[in-house]
Amino acid sequence: MEAEALRAPAAAPASAGAGAPPGAGRLGTLYRWAGAFIRPEWPALVAVLLLSVLAVLAGLAQPLLTRALIDDGILARDAASVLSTGGWMVALALAALATGFACRRIHVAASARILHRMRESLFAHVLTLSPDFFARMRQGDLLARLEGDLGEVQRFAVDAVLSAVNSVLTLVGTVILLGLLSPTLALFLALLMLINSAVLSRVRPRIEALSQQSREAGVEVSSFLVEKMAAVRCIQTHTAEAREQARLRGLHGTVRERLLSLQLHGYLGGAFPNLLLSLAVIGIFVGGSLSMLAGDPLTLGTLVAFASCMQRASAPLHALMGLYLQWQRVKVGLIRVDELRTLGAHAGAVPDAAVRDFPSGELVVRDLAFAYPGVPRAAFAGLDFTVRAGEFVWLRGDSGCGKSTFIDLLHRHFAPSAGSVTIGGVNLDDIDRQVLRRHIAVVSQEAVLFTGSLLDNIRYGRPAATLEEVGDAARAAGMCGFLARLPDGLESTVGPRGASLSGGERQRVALARALLMRPSLLVIDEGTSSLDSALELRTLHGIGALLPQATRIVVSHRDLSPLAFDRIIDFPGAVS
């Protein structure tokens, strides 16, 4: 066993590149992105559009049938006409019901498929991002982008477009019908619509600003809850319950204030058209009645039909106003989704000519340096050492000197700022990322487990592994002791993040998961720190027996037995 020290000359401050601001064509780019998920559903969307047209036509026919019922039936005292017209009205109502049911059935299924494809694509992209992104991004904010913001984008891209088409068709058809029924009354309606547009043009900018502020306040609450729910024990330990409740009340106060302001402005935007509609109906009946008394050929049936058309025109007007309000929310969501969607993948991107077979041979680190983006001080610099194939090495160093960061570079979570790392003479950057991570297994101090059985957690890296292989890995990781105490053994269920296990038990499960992958290079990054010294030593010997040909690196700042290792490499102190 020999010990060597790494050369670590002073490093120059690292500079962080500034990201480019979003371009003016962001909206078009996003719609092209969304279009890739919408296009497979075009037959269903066309069917929804055609059914919507049929529903619009059925709705427009009702006022005409109402006029016929009054003028040709009731006023003419023609019972046969009343029954015939009433029958047609019932038939159209039933047809509209059936059409609406079919339309909703097709639309909901297609819309859900589009949303799920978009989320799956965005989730796959998120899985390529650097750990540095997750260290900076609040989990609540990330979940809000994947769930709420993406849902808003999908609903607007699909639902809103179809709703707009339906509303425009209804509105255009109604206006044409109104013009045919009474040009004079149609001009009166047009004047009211101009007044409505003028008022709404003053309200809209305020609604847009309030929508963004309300969304940001909601994200603050989500992020707060996600963070605090993961730290309940710490809050209880420091008797901070009252302080955290006060913070939540403060956040809720901000949400209520912004939500109330948004709702009031939104109500004004919707209530004013209602007021104009009521005035229009009153004006129609008063003006129409005066015209009839003055001898105008306007009939009572036409007057009622016109009022009915007015009420039908209000629905698409309200729908279009609602779409505008939705668009203000969607613009905020679009920006947030686009920020996530356009983040570049980390250093693990695979070149076209990537090496698909993991090379065998020594691990060589030459003049390696790394600095986190935006951090002027380098994590380390000037690393030079070699680990021979099959060696059992202790990588020793003080806490905070960059050992775990170096391990992240081995998995290509980051790209080095300078220098290189090769295995068997092949640069890590030239090795396919999936191949690299299958052959370099890392056991971290913070063991990550998922809800499910112990067996599922151990098999996470090799789902097809046999029970015998799982048993060998579990024994080598020192799991036999606590497995014997569990009534269901490997089938025992662990809670979220393995909460039902102790820290040492979680570490042993994570170690068994890594051993089951049969790696060529096994890195234990403080991965046995929760074990006592005797159990840790037995576990290290068990790993050597299970993987005698693998290169094994134990990263630790604790005092271990030097006799257990072939060599000790001293990691330099943090660069100042």
| 404-414 per-position pLDDT tens digit | 888 888 888 88
* Distances, alpha carbon 392 to alpha carbons 442, 502, 541, 558, 571, in Å: 15, 28, 10, 17, 16
Q: Got the DSSP string for 9-66? A: ---PPP--PPPPPPPTTHHHHHHHHHHHHHGGGHHHHHHHHHHHHHHHHHHHHHHHHH
Question: What integer pLDDT is reported at residue 23 of this predicted model?
Answer: 44
- Using 50, 70 and 90 to split pLDDT, how confident is the model at 18? very low
**Nearest of 416, 337, 354, 429 to residue 383 by alpha carbon:** 416
Question: What integer pLDDT is reported at residue 340 of this predicted model?
Answer: 81
> What does the alpha-carbon distance between residue 462 and residue 514 come to, in Å, rounded to a whole number?
9
Q: Find the mean pLDDT for residues 379-402.
A: 84
Q: Give the list of residues 6+ apart from residue 422 with CB closer than 8 angstroms, or none.
A: 363, 364, 366, 428
Does the structure show a pLDDT above 80 at 335?
A: no
Does the structure show a pLDDT above 60 at 15?
A: no
Q: Find the mean pLDDT for residues 49-74.
A: 80
Amino acid letter for position 287: G
Q: Find the mean pLDDT for residues 244-271.
A: 81
Proportion of the chain in helix, strand, coil states, percent, rounded to 5: 65, 10, 25
Does the structure show a pLDDT above 60 at 285?
A: yes
Question: What integer pLDDT is reported at residue 20 of this predicted model?
Answer: 36
- Tell me which long-range contacts 127-134 makes (C-beta under 8 A, separation of at least 24): 128/345, 128/346, 128/348, 128/349, 129/343, 129/345, 129/346, 130/346, 130/347, 130/413, 130/414, 131/408, 131/413, 131/414, 132/346, 132/372, 132/373, 132/414, 133/343, 133/346
Domains of the chain, by residue range, sit at 26-341, 363-570
Question: What integer pLDDT is reported at residue 346 of this predicted model?
Answer: 53
- Using 50, 70 and 90 to split pLDDT, how confident is the model at 529? low
Amino acid letter for position 73: G
Strands (E), 225-291: none
pLDDT digits (tens, 9 = 90+) for 474-516: 888 888 878 888 788 888 888 777 777 877 788 888 889 888 9
Cβ atoms of 387 and 393 within 8 Å: the answer is yes
> What does the alpha-carbon distance between residue 5 and residue 175 come to, in Å, rounded to a whole number?
85
- Using 50, 70 and 90 to split pLDDT, how confident is the model at 185? low
The domain 26-341 having CATH identifier 3.40.720.10: the answer here is: no
- Using 50, 70 and 90 to split pLDDT, how confident is the model at 563? confident
Q: Find the mean pLDDT for residues 267-273.
A: 70
Q: The pTM is what?
A: 0.64
Question: What integer pLDDT is reported at residue 27 of this predicted model?
Answer: 65
Most confident of 71-75, 117-121, 308-312, 500-504: 117-121
User: Whole-angstrom distance between the N-terminal and C-terminal Cα of the chain?
Assistant: 31
Q: Which two tokens stand for residue 197?
A: 């547009």
φ, ψ of residue 203 in degrees (nearest 5): -85, -30
Superfamily of structural domain 363-570: P-loop containing nucleotide triphosphate hydrolases (3.40.50.300)
> What does the alpha-carbon distance between residue 338 and residue 576 come to, in Å, rounded to a whole number?
37
Most confident of 50-64, 204-218, 303-317: 50-64
Task: Return left, alpha or beta for 401; rule: phi > 0 is left, psi -120 to 50 is alpha, else beta.
Answer: alpha
> What does the alpha-carbon distance between residue 152 and residue 542 come to, in Å, rounded to a whole number?
53
Name the residue with higher pLDDT: 361 or 556: 361
Q: Find the mean pLDDT for residues 64-71.
A: 80
Does the structure show a pLDDT above 80 at 156?
A: no
Question: What integer pLDDT is reported at residue 13 of this predicted model?
Answer: 34
Question: What integer pLDDT is reported at residue 4 of this predicted model?
Answer: 47
